[in-house]
């Protein structure tokens, strides 16, 4: 399966078998699946009543309510629908950084491929958005391995570049996504926090379930360089020469404040946040994360 095997080895796919991802909230979709929906239909789980109108199926009448009230009410049920998962991936220039191995963008692509594989196997729908200072590419949600292949081929053809404006791009997406679903944002979050989280709040206001994965390189986490180095901003070209040994303590303190602030802002919005290092195996991260998410939903 070209496109899928570019990101997932047979061993990785075996590790992902048996895993599942669910939304913590209701979803909306056009076809039957395994997730609760706010749309009323003919499933087995009772939702509420409405007054009977001429033409309603008499089998739906609640005779127990009639016995108490002498009024006709129809039982309504929660429809089971498929989950719509949109991966929103930062492809600005800072995501091109790699001290070793994969760039942050490439790591995000592997995570999207693995989660997309799980979602497609459970017959749910996957979509992808790539952004920098604006929405660069958007492929709407569809189900099936053929569609997943299209999504992953699109990821392969894109490269991180340009400045970022996360807030602007996410606000535009919040207006584009008409149906509720699961939004998985993957970014280093190196942007104005107020702009970023106002946009995340926009998704939550529209009742989307949101996951934020902050992806950082181990060198960014530890400032692990051993000699005086010139640091170049990958988006502005600004240069700064520092001695990592002298700056490390203050740098890590400020970075931790940045990470903690992102985590706290997500908690306020009831958004699921995780910090991810590109040094970690993406398969192991997904296995651990989905196990934690399953416990949260019990």
Instruction: Render pLDDT for 231-274 as a digit per residue (tens, 0 to 9).
Output: 788 888 888 888 888 888 999 999 999 999 999 999 999 999 99
At 243 the pLDDT is: 83
At 68 the pLDDT is: 86
Question: Is residue 175 scored above 70 in pLDDT?
Answer: yes
At 296 the pLDDT is: 74
Question: Is residue 58 scored above 80 in pLDDT?
Answer: no
At 115 the pLDDT is: 97
At 226 the pLDDT is: 74
Q: If we measure between CA atoms, which residue out of 131, 133, 105, 94 comes closest to residue 233? A: 94
Tell me: the pLDDT tens digits for 131-156? 999 999 999 999 999 999 999 999 99
pTM: 0.81
Residue with the larger pLDDT of the pair 52 and 147: 147
Q: State the virtual CA torsion across 16, 19, 24, 28 in degrees, nearest 10.
A: 80
At 80 the pLDDT is: 43
| Cα distance between residue 263 and residue 272, in whole Å | 9
The full set of domain ranges for the chain reads 10-25+82-297, 32-81
Mean pLDDT of the region 39-62: 59
At 279 the pLDDT is: 96
221 close to 282: Cβ distance less than 8 angstroms: no
Tell me: the pLDDT tens digits for 3-38? 788 899 999 999 998 899 988 875 555 444 555 545
Question: Is residue 294 scored above 80 in pLDDT?
Answer: yes
Q: If we measure between CA atoms, which residue out of 150, 294, 269 comes closest to residue 198? A: 269
At 26 the pLDDT is: 55
Tell me: the pLDDT tens digits for 177-227? 988 999 999 999 999 999 999 999 999 999 999 999 999 999 999 988 877
| Cα distance between residue 272 and residue 212, in whole Å | 6
- The gap from C-alpha 183 to its chain's centroid, in whole angstroms, comes to 4
Q: How many CB atoms lie within 10 A of CB 167?
A: 19
Residue with the larger pLDDT of the pair 105 and 179: 105
21 close to 115: Cβ distance less than 8 angstroms: yes
Question: Is residue 78 scored above 70 in pLDDT?
Answer: no
Residue with the larger pLDDT of the pair 58 and 28: 58
pLDDT tier, 229 (very low <50, low <70, confident <90, very high otherwise): confident
At 232 the pLDDT is: 80
- Averaged confidence pLDDT in the chain: 87
CATH homologous superfamily, domain 10-25+82-297: von Willebrand factor, type A domain (3.40.50.410)
């Amino acid at each position: 399966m070209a496109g899928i095997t570019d990101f997932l080895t047979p061993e990785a796919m075996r590790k992902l078998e048996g895993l599942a991802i669910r939304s913590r909230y209701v979803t909306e979709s056009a076809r039957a699946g395994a997730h609760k929906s706010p749309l009323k239909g003919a499933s087995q789980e009772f939702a509420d009543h409405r007054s009977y109108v001429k033409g309603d199926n008499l089998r739906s009448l609640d005779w127990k309510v009639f016995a108490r009230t002498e009024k006709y009410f129809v039982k309504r049920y929660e429809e089971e629908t498929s989950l719509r998962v949109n991966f929103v991936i930062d492809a600005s220039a800072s995501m091109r950084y790699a001290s070793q191995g994969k760039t942050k963008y490439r790591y995000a692509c592997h995570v999207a491929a693995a989660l997309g594989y799980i979602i497609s196997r459970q017959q749910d729908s996957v979509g992808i958005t790539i952004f920098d200072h604006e929405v660069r590419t958007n492929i709407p949600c569809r189900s099936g391995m053929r569609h997943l292949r299209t999504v992953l081929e699109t990821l392969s053809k894109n490269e991180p570049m340009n400045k970022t404006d996360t807030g602007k791009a996410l606000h535009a997406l919040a207006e584009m996504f008409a149906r509720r679903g699961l939004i998985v944002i993957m970014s280093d979050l190196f942007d104005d926090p107020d702009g970023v989280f106002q946009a995340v709040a926009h998704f939550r206001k529209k009742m989307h379930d949101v996951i934020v994965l902050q992806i950082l390189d181990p060198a960014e986490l530890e400032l692990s360089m051993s000699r005086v180095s010139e640091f170049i901003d990958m988006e502005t070209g600004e240069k700064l020469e520092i001695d990592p040994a002298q700056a490390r303590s203050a740098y890590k303190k400020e970075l931790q404040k940045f990470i903690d602030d992102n985590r706290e802002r997500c908690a306020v919005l009831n958004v699921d946040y995780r910090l991810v290092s590109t040094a970690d195996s993406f398969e192991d991260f997904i296995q651990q994360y989905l196990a934690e998410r399953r416990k949260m939903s019990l």
